[in-house]
Amino acid sequence: MIRKERAAYVDQELERLYPNPPIPLDHKDSYTLLVAVLLSAQCTDVRVNKTTPSLWALADNPFDMAKVAASRIENVVRPCGLAPRKAQAIHELSNILVENYDGEVPEGFDLLEALPGVGHKTASVVMAQAFGHPAFPVDTHIHRLAQRWGLTNGKNVFQTEKDLKKLFPEQRWNDLHLQIIYYGREHCTARGCDGTICPMCRTLYPQRKKAVATRK
């Protein structure tokens, strides 16, 4: 298969396996999604979903969160790791939302990325899942699978994002990035598959014998 043929197969198969994929992080609005995505950095969605109910009990909107000391936020989000940095970011961005945006999450990549603790991937998730704008958030898991499936040269997550956007129609980006995540968790895990084991890898590369080393 050439790259476009592999992409077409991936698109078709993931749509068959995971139609209308749900958003894995529990949230009720754009603010709680933003905070949940921020907490998910180097942490599992399962852990975040177990932690956020306690955080929302403390404050579930920027007006109330801005009044909570970062140290109190840190105590709640500690299970998610990197607690001091994440807590400070939540406290600071809540203040910024109140002061500059009337408590609303701004609808724009540049505006989101200017917030404390919000990088391109987090902004992409919020733009896609909260506002419905076409985006293709690429985390380390999508980066790994895209390499295993021969969809990118795999130099870094930014190159992978560019390659995936070129391969797939824009209207599929928002669902597809979730579908890849779900497939990766279920079939093509970091340790459970090395590029030669899961059904997708075997179909795309039936003659592959050696493990695929992920390029960072």
Active-site residue numbers? 121, 139
How many C-beta neighbours within 10 Å does residue 83 have?
Answer: 17
Query: 118 is written with which tokens?
Result: 């919000």
DSSP string, 112-181: HHTSTT--HHHHHHHHHHTT--------HHHHHHHHHTTSS--S-HHHHHHHHHHHS-GGGHHHHHHHHH
Distance of CA 6 to the CA centre of its chain: 23
Residue type, 189: T
Rounded to 5 degrees, what angle do the CA atoms 142, 163, 13 make? 55
Determine the longest span between alpha carbons in the chain, in angstroms. 59
What is the rounded CA–CA span in Å between residue 113 and residue 194? 33
Distance CA 103, CA 174 (A): 26
Please provide the DSSP assignment of 47-83 as one string: HHHHHHHHHHHH-SSHHHHTTS-HHHHHHHHGGGS-H
Task: Single out the residue of 12, 9, 22, 13 nearest to residue 178, CA to CA.
Answer: 22
